[in-house]
Every structure is written in structure tokens, then in C-alpha cells.
Amino acid sequence: MREGDSPTRGGWRVRTRRETTAVVNKPVMTRSQHCRVGQDSSAPKIGYAANWRPKVGDSSPSVCGLMDTRHMGTKAPPPPRPLGVSNDEAVELCRQWMVYLGAADSIATEGDSRQACDLYSSRFLAWVNNRGGNLDIELVKRAALVSAADGRRALIFIAGGIYPDAQDGADGLGIAILRFDPFSGDLDGANLVGRRLRDTGLSSN
């Protein structure tokens, strides 16, 4: 190895101690600064606009100009909620699950943007169904339409069960269904795609 070269391991370059320190000490942007990075006039200022659609020829639509990045997630999953959760609390709980699984920039939508989806990150759009009944195919279809127009993958969090046609439809469309239990603090996949994402996380998908 020549003087000045960085060591390698298995063909991959290993950071030197100086480089690692520089990365760790890199300034962290606030949410408002994050939303201004790469922002253009076609993207909403914050959140997801229900009537926003990508321009013709735009192959990488985004919300707030967020770029596609990788995140490691938090070390611990959200704690159990023995008293259950309201609809708004369920959205926040699922946001925490997204962060835990690797989508560290996940944000809950507000106001009219909630009509389009409940949560978004730079790579995913998510819907939260806090009802105790079974998920039907209609929400799956709506999530598929919105995510197809937006360009990011769709996640649906459910607190209850799921009808077979909704389960099969979600698998066919590549939509992950994740079942959350606020009382026990558990999260599991309710379809094939959901189980895969639960196992592998969101940062690598």
C-alpha cells in the first residue's frame, strides 16, 4: 500500500480515523433546512399536497425536495401503549415505527395534506388505518395510485385484520402491509411484502 492510501477490506475502502471524525462532526440540518434542499417550484412547500402531481417527464418527483438517502434508524422500537391510541396517536406511533425501521426522516402530514397520506419520508408514503376491522381493497388501490404518481413506495399500517383480496392486491402492487399492536408494542408484516420489509428494514429497500 502506498503512503497516503486509505486501507481497504474485502475490496471496500475503509474510512480513516480522520475521515470518520469529520463525518460524525458533520452539522445536522433542521427540518426547515432539510425541506429547502433541492426544492423546486413543482413540489409543495411542506407535507404532501393532495392535488400535486409530477410534471410530464419528471422521473423523480419529491416532496419538500427531499433526496433519497439511507438511514440507520433508532436502536429501540416504540414502547407499548397499554391504554391504546387515538387516530392521531396511531399516526405518531407508526411514524416512530418507520424511523425505527430505517426511514429516519419520516414526518406526519398536517392539514389538507392528510387527505393524500398520513406519513411521508424521502422514500416512502404511508397510510395508517387505526380501525379494528379488516382492511379492504379500496385503501390499497388509493395508496397504489398516489404512490405511482409520486414515485415513492407505499406502506399501509393497520391495527386490525385484512381481507384476502386486499392482501393479494397489495402483494401484486408491491405495497407493504404492516400490522401494529399499540397494546403489546408489536409490529409484524400482514402480507409478503410487509413481512420482507419488517425483516430487512426500510433503509435498504
79, 73, 98, 90: which is closest to 153 by C-alpha?
98
**pLDDT, tens digit (0-9, with 9 covering 90-100), for 37-78:** 333 333 333 333 333 333 333 333 333 333 333 344 567 899
Name the architecture of domain 70-200: 3-Layer(aba) Sandwich (3.40)
pLDDT > 50? residue 97: yes
pLDDT in tens, 135-158: 999 999 999 999 999 999 999 999
Q: Which residue has the higher pLDDT, 90 or 34?
A: 90
In this predicted structure, what is the pLDDT of residue 160?
Answer: 95
Q: What is the DSSP string of 121-182?
A: -SSEEEEEE--SSEE-HHHHHHHHHHHHHH-SEEEEEESSEE-HHHHHHHHHHT-EEEEEET
- Cβ neighbors of 66 (< 8 A, separation 6 or more) are 34, 35, 37, 38, 105, 121, 122
Number of alpha carbons in the 13 Å side-chain half-sphere of residue 86: 2
